[in-house]
Amino acid sequence: MSDTVPSTAPEKRATDAPASTKKDFIRQIVREDLASGKHSAIRTRFPPEPNGYLHIGHAKAICLDFGIAAEFDGRCNLRFDDTNPAKEDPEFVQAIQDDVRWLGYEWASLRHASDYFEVYYLAAEKLIRDGKAFVCDLSPEQVREYRGTLTEPGRESPYRNRSAEESLDLFRRMRAGEFPDGARTLRARIDMASGNINLRDPALYRIKHVEHQNTGDAWPIYPMYDIAHALGDAIEGITHSLCTLEFEDHRPLYDWCVDNVDLAGHPELLQPLLAKGLPIEAAKPRQIEFSRLNINYTVMSKRKLTQLVAENLVDGWDDPRMYTLQGLRRRGYTPAALRLLVDRVGISKQNSVIDFSVLEGCLREDLDAAAPRRMAVIDPLKLVLANLPEGHEESLDFPNHPKDASLGQRRVLFSRELWIEREDFAEVPPKGWKRLVPGGEARLRGAGIVRIDEVVKDDGGQVVELRGWLDPESRPGMEGANRKVKGTIHWVSAPHAVAAEIRLYDRLFSVERPDDESDGKGYRDHLNPDSKRTVAGWVEPAAAQAVPEQSFQFERSGYFVADRYDHAPGRPVFNRSVTLRDTWAG
């Protein structure tokens, strides 16, 4: 375990909502608890299971758990729920810590459920001695059969009335590794007729002969989530245990575990932690549920995300098309954009599905304000300004941001030969066309007005070059620049341009509800074949000099980010984060 500084709020961006404006029901509960004196300090926790990478839904929980602690001068712990070692990996542990810090938060203390295994075990023995738990020999299939249904009560296990002495002996033998996996479980003795199935004698411990990444082979038994989570919160003095709505039906069991173990009233159970010098703030936590973040055109199931990776349907957990936080980061999403999304979606108890355009809109809003502008050509077509001399070269001044002078200016090289976008020229223009045509004029961004005089084609009839004339009296600031010309296009100087790999990413799924299997198809059938295209483009030198993860608006094209891993100034690689406008609307 390592303790760090108290949790801090992230660096603010213009897109972050002021804490004072957040009036959701959870923050109102916190305000009331502080005002009434119920709590003198707020304690929260973020409890991920390290069995995969975090996805965008977790961003909501992170922003809520850490955000509330920061807003109310409290503390938020990062606690790994490492109670199922068969599916867990240190790689996931590191990625989760990276994600939390990337979003702008720092934990007060780094904890693991495995830090508390000795306490959980002593608590389980106490429940057995108190007649609140028993060792059951039913197989998993029999347990399901005995559990009953939503309309029918369950049946009591034939082992339910075992004496405390017998159950305690069997539990200690389970702990000693005497029995094989699945042979026995420790179950709470609650109510097999309860309308809440979670209270029908739920399992508290199961046998798993699996080595643990933190405790090695010390434990052949592991606690179930419900008891580990509840007691972990109680050990850490968590005041507000925030969970998504699927845990609402688990809250009575959460409270049952806290109340019946009663750590505050039985400090002897905490001796293993005190002996290790671990900080303890035992208290009774309150679980509060809120709705998950659901976005259309996505899947958020960790199982399905794992399958996408395992079946090579994507290029790993951090593929920029994935909705993991690692993937979104590599795509060019910013912490401020995700925090804005969480603020915009709000905190409630009402489940809803957010349109993907809301997510993209948050990123556009943040990058429009923060991202410097650069020029890049994605589908290049050569334009030769025939009236300029061979070898012509000059420097032009361009603002780095049209709305923010504080970002300064840069020098952009201009020459006789330019790269322009192929889509900016049409031999037979459609109605309303405002760009280049044979004999027509358009404005070259920051350089003047150009006219196309000649179209050069290859043997197959493909346009390979345009030859034109640059009006020398139309430079910015000259009188000739004032005449009306409908279109303005961007360009890159061909002799100075830097070749770049440009990855054009789009939504991973082509339908709103990829999880919907009513038509007999699964999410794999709805993968968008155009979710990734890689092209060879040209960028101005100032773009090529970007550092990894630096974002730009490529003028008239979209927002792009220098790839986190593959980009280098001599070999630039850019990922499209989002288009300038919503191309999926309508």
Sign of the Cα torsion 202, 236, 80, 61 reads positive
Residues that constitute the known binding site for ATP: 49-51, 55-61, 244, 292-293, 300-302
Q: Give the N- to C-terminal CA distance of the chain in Å, as an integer.
A: 52
SS3 335: helix
Residues 6+ apart with CB under 8 A from 518: none
Find how far residue 205's CA is from the centre of its chain.
Answer: 32
Residues that constitute the known binding site: 49-51, 55-61, 81, 225, 244, 292-293, 300-302
Q: Which of 49, 156, 166, 465 is catalytic?
A: 49
CA distance 491 to 555: 9
Tokens of 150: 């939503």
544 with 412: CB under 8 angstroms? no
Residues 6+ apart with CB under 8 A from 149: none
The Cα-based distances of 499 to 357, 467, 490, 532 in angstroms read: 31, 22, 16, 19
Q: Which of 208, 292, 304, 422 is catalytic?
A: 292
| Sheet bearing 75-80, strands edge to edge | 2-3, 109-112, 75-80, 43-46
Residue 292 falls in the annotated catalytic set: yes
Residue 302 falls in the annotated catalytic set: yes
243 with 226: CB under 8 angstroms? no
440 with 487: CB under 8 angstroms? no
The C-alpha angle 215, 216, 219, rounded to 5 degrees, equals: 70
Residues 6+ apart with CB under 8 A from 356: 295, 296, 297, 298, 507, 584
Sign of the Cα torsion 513, 516, 521, 522 reads positive
The Cα-based distances of 142 to 89, 184, 361 in angstroms read: 31, 12, 51
CA distance 86 to 88: 6
Closest by CA to 130, choosing from 84, 155, 163, is 163
CA distance 159 to 341: 51
Q: Which of 206, 302, 364, 503 is catalytic?
A: 302
174 with 186: CB under 8 angstroms? yes
Place of tokens 């300038």: 580
Residues that constitute the known binding site for L-glutamine: 81, 225
- 266-279 b/e (C-beta count within 10 Å ≥ 16 → b): eeebbebbeeeebe
Helices 56-71 and 90-102: angle between axes, nearest 10 degrees: 60
Tokens of 583: 């191309």
CA distance 562 to 552: 8
Tokens of 461: 């009839």
CA distance 228 to 370: 43
Q: Side-chain half-sphere of 120: how many Cα atoms within 13 Å?
A: 26
SS3 231: helix
Residues 6+ apart with CB under 8 A from 97: 78, 110
Catalytically active residues, by annotation = 49, 292, 302
